Chain A
């Protein structure tokens, strides 16, 4: 499983864009990049995923570099409820079998 590297913690002001980086230099061609977040005492919540193109949904945008060795999750207008641990995961689905390998994640704090 490819390994990911994320900053341990980050701060962002409420209303500003939060940009969370992730390095995955050993990612292989058929591995996807997933982002999940975990708010204290809850189960992780899926945010977004991508293979090579940039992706956007109602929660966030995912920017993947052309060489796919790094990516950035963007929360466009962070709110206090976005305070959580954010996990960047790379993984492959084989016949639908899914195993998420979580790293330590980035603890994002949104400040008022």
Chain B
């Protein structure tokens, strides 16, 4: 069974630009979550999607948005990039159940210059 796939692995963008990151969950998983990891703040939850609906949202500005497609693939978008958005962005997928373990991808490392 293939794992969670995130593309691209590395990205360099300029301040003010926007960026779209992609995540393909494990086959059969309908929940996709996004996290931001920085040295200063650690791992922080961005949002979670299930069946194309956002069910949970973290404390990030509206510049951070996401969506999920009918095949459960998800994208997150960051508009008007700031230097502080430089981070490792991680995607996790899980199946619905009473208790579900999350499977993480390798992440996309975004550098804003």
Say if A and B assemble together. yes
Chain B residues within an 8 Å CB radius of A49: 99, 101
**A 10-44 contacts with B by CB, 8 A:** 32, 34, 36, 38, 42-44
Residue of A45, A96, A97, A105 near B104 (CB, 8 A) is A45
B42 touches A32 (CB 8 A): no
A99 touches B56 (CB 8 A): yes
**A 49-86 contacts with B by CB, 8 A:** 49, 51
Confirm or deny: B22 has a beta carbon within 8 angstroms of a beta carbon on chain A: no
- The count of residues in chain A whose C-beta lies closer than 8 Å to any C-beta of chain B is 24
B45 touches A43 (CB 8 A): no
A97 touches B56 (CB 8 A): yes
A96 touches B42 (CB 8 A): no
- Least CB distance from A93 to B in Å reads 6
Residue of B33, B42, B45, B58 near A103 (CB, 8 A) is B42
Confirm or deny: A9 has a beta carbon within 8 angstroms of a beta carbon on chain B: no
Q: Mark B29-43, 1 if CB is under 8 A from A, else 0.
A: 001010100000011
- The count of residues in chain B whose C-beta lies closer than 8 Å to any C-beta of chain A is 28
Chain B residues within an 8 Å CB radius of A45: 104
Task: Give A45 to B106 CA distance when docked, in angstroms.
Answer: 10
Most buried by B among A45, A87, A97: A97
B42 touches A104 (CB 8 A): yes
Chain A residues within an 8 Å CB radius of B98: 93
Confirm or deny: B4 has a beta carbon within 8 angstroms of a beta carbon on chain A: yes
Q: Which residues of A contact B (CB under 8 A)?
A: 32, 34, 36, 38, 42-46, 49, 51, 87, 93, 95-105
Q: Which residues of B contact A (CB under 8 A)?
A: 4, 31, 33, 35, 42-45, 48, 50, 55-56, 58, 90, 92, 94, 96-107
Return 20 A-B CB contacts under 8 Å, by A number: A32-B99, A34-B101, A44-B90, A44-B92, A44-B104, A46-B103, A49-B101, A93-B98, A97-B48, A97-B50, A98-B94, A98-B100, A98-B102, A99-B45, A99-B48, A100-B35, A100-B92, A102-B35, A103-B42, A104-B42
